[in-house]
Every structure is written in structure tokens, then in C-alpha cells.
Amino acid sequence: MKAKLIDGKALSAKIRAQISLDAARFERSRGRKAGLAVILSGDDPASQIYVRNKIAACGECGIKSFAYYPPGDAPESELIGLIEGLNADKNVDGILVQLPLPRGFCEPRVLKAVSPQKDVDGFHAENAGNLLLGNDCLAPCTPSGVVELIKSTGEPIEGKRAVVIGRSNIVGKPAAVMLLAENATVTVCHSRTRDLPALTRSADILVVAVGKKEFVRGDMIKPGAIVIDVGMNRENGKLYGDVEFAEAQNVAGHITPVPGGVGPMTITMLLKNTLKAAEKNG
């Protein structure tokens, strides 16, 4: 039997409808729209697409966006100065610095400059630490979307064996922490993991965030598993996931497509975080 599709576009639309209502309520009570500042330094083509989509989504949900495009060769102090100005701006509730930064920037130093209260990406050490401790925080958007997609299947997470492939600060590590908070038994795999297929075949929930086109094949998947493909690999203008979809669909119980799975949910969680920050700070 073919796996059921987990439709990230449909789930996003449902959550965004609620965000639009919440954004309108915020505007009525505070006399201003919730605001998100988006900074894109340099000219990375994939980042340009992501940023354009984020700005469009803000407009559709009644969130005001402020876009900044500093040149990629500007000094880091200028970028940090821009962030500090936005930290102090009462109309800005969230600040997003699109990654990767151009060569020469110190990413941790730049991310540290974002006020933790406005860190809607959840990348600041304070938010990352609070996530690990189980405290309320702004959590990273892609892993938040991953958990929502898993929950949308109606299958319980508690007690399940979850395997996350990838250990990035943006996706793999926080996804593992969030699944642990949902009482899954979590294994994090990476480039030095031995006998990866044996581990992935044990996974009731498999989250793949490696950044390699069709890295996970059908024979690496446990029959009936929930498979979440975080991959966004562009080749000749086409988008490919980290999972070989046709093979995986014959084995998994539920699977996200690429595109139309995790991608729309990342932006939806960004909008949700912006409103959360606005309601707390505004």
C-alpha cells in the first residue's frame, strides 16, 4: 500500500488562517500591525527565493514586513548596527537574518546580536538553551514545522523510536530536542554514524535533514514509518528532497512531499513566532 501524503501546504493554510485572525486581533488591540524585519545580506539565489516567500507570507497574514538588503561585502559592524537599530524599534517584533551569511561574516556573532525576545528564528543561544531545558522560548521554525507535520498524521509520538539524520543547529539538533520533549526515543545520526541503514530501519519516525538529493532510499525505511523530508536540493531549476520519494512511498506509512511538505511549514512557524513575540513584547 502507498504511504499517505502529509500535505504541508494544506496544514500551513489551516494554521495561517488562524494566524491571520490572531494578527488582526493584535492590530485591533495595539493599533499597529505585528512587524517582522528580514535581513538578506549578499546575493545567494536560494536565499532570495526564501526571503521573497517569507515577505509575501507576512503580507497575506496581516503582518508588516521590513526588508533590508545590505551588500554582502559591507563590514560586519554595519550589519550588527542594523540589527541593534531593529532591536530598539518598537514596530519590529521579530528579526530574521537569512542564512547563510556571505563569506567573511562570523555567523554566531551576528546571530548573538539579535535580541532573544525578537529572535523569531530561535537561533540565539538563549532560545536554544531554553529549548533544551524545556522552557518557553522562540523555537526554530523548520523543526517546529516537522513536529506539527508528524502530529497531523494523528499517530502518537510518545514512546516511538525517532531517528533524525543531520545534526545542524538549525534543524537536526533542535528537531531531536523537540521530539524528545514529545517523549519519543531519539537517535541523532550524522556523517560519522556507522551502519546508518540499520538505524534508519529501526525508526518509527524518520526525519531527514542531510542536504543530499535522494540520500535515503526505500530499503532504509521501516515499513509503515512516518518519513519527514527536510531536503531542498535544487538541480536544474527542480527541487529534490533528501528522500527518494517513489521508493519511499512504497514502504512508509506517511511521507512529506518535496516541494509541499516541510517548506511551507517553516514559513508558517515563522509567522507564528512573530505573533508570539509581538504579543509578549508589544
121 binds ligand GUN (CB under 6 A): yes
Catalytic residue among 33, 93, 98, 204: 98
Q: How far is the CB of 39 from ligand GUN (least distance, A)?
A: 9
Residue 249 known to be catalytic: no
Among 11, 99, 184, 227, indicate the residue that binds ligand GUN (CB under 6 A). Answer: 99
DSSP-derived letter for residue 40 is: -
Residue 98 known to be catalytic: yes
Among 1, 2, 34, 84, which Cα is nearest to 249's? 2
Looking at the chain, the number of H-run helices and the number of E-run strands are 10, 11
Catalytic residue among 121, 204, 229, 242: 121
| Interacting residues of 208 by C-beta distance below 8 A, sequence separation 6+ | 165, 166, 215, 216, 227, 228, 229, 230, 231, 241, 242, 243
The amino acid occupying position 205 is I
Q: How far is the CB of 157 from ligand GUN (least distance, A)?
A: 22
Three-state secondary-structure class, residue 162: strand
Residue nearest to ligand GUN (CB): 99
Q: How far is the CB of 109 from ligand GUN (least distance, A)?
A: 15
Element housing 164 (H / E): strand 161-165
Q: How far is the CB of 142 from ligand GUN (least distance, A)?
A: 5
Q: Could you tell me the CA-to-CA distances from 82 to 33, 71, 87, 119, 159 in Å, in that order? A: 21, 12, 9, 14, 45
Catalytic residue among 22, 33, 54, 242: 54
Among 259, 180, 255, which Cα is nearest to 224's? 255
Shorter beta-carbon distance to ligand GUN: residue 96 or 228: 96
Q: How far is the CB of 252 from ligand GUN (least distance, A)?
A: 24
Q: Which three cell numbers stand for residue 90?
A: 518598537
Among 138, 170, 188, 199, indicate the residue that binds ligand GUN (CB under 6 A). Answer: 170
Query: Angle between the 8-30 and 45-61 helix axes, to the nearest 10 degrees?
Result: 60
Shorter beta-carbon distance to ligand GUN: residue 211 or 260: 211
Asked if 118 and 277 count as a contact pair (C-beta separation under 8 A), the reply is yes
Shorter beta-carbon distance to ligand GUN: residue 99 or 203: 99
Shorter beta-carbon distance to ligand GUN: residue 93 or 121: 121
Shorter beta-carbon distance to ligand GUN: residue 44 or 247: 44
Residue 121 known to be catalytic: yes
Shorter beta-carbon distance to ligand GUN: residue 172 or 253: 172
Residues 263-282 that bind ligand GUN (CB under 6 A): 266
Contacting range for ligand GUN; rule: CB under 6 A; set: 97-105, 191-199, 206-214, 255-263: 97-105
Asked if 177 and 147 count as a contact pair (C-beta separation under 8 A), the reply is no
Quickly list DSSP for 56-99. Answer: HHHHHHT-EEEEE---TTS-HHHHHHHHHHHHT-TT--EEEE-S
Catalytic (active-site) positions: 54, 98, 121
Q: Which residues bind ligand GUN (CB under 6 A)?
A: 96-99, 121, 141-142, 170, 266
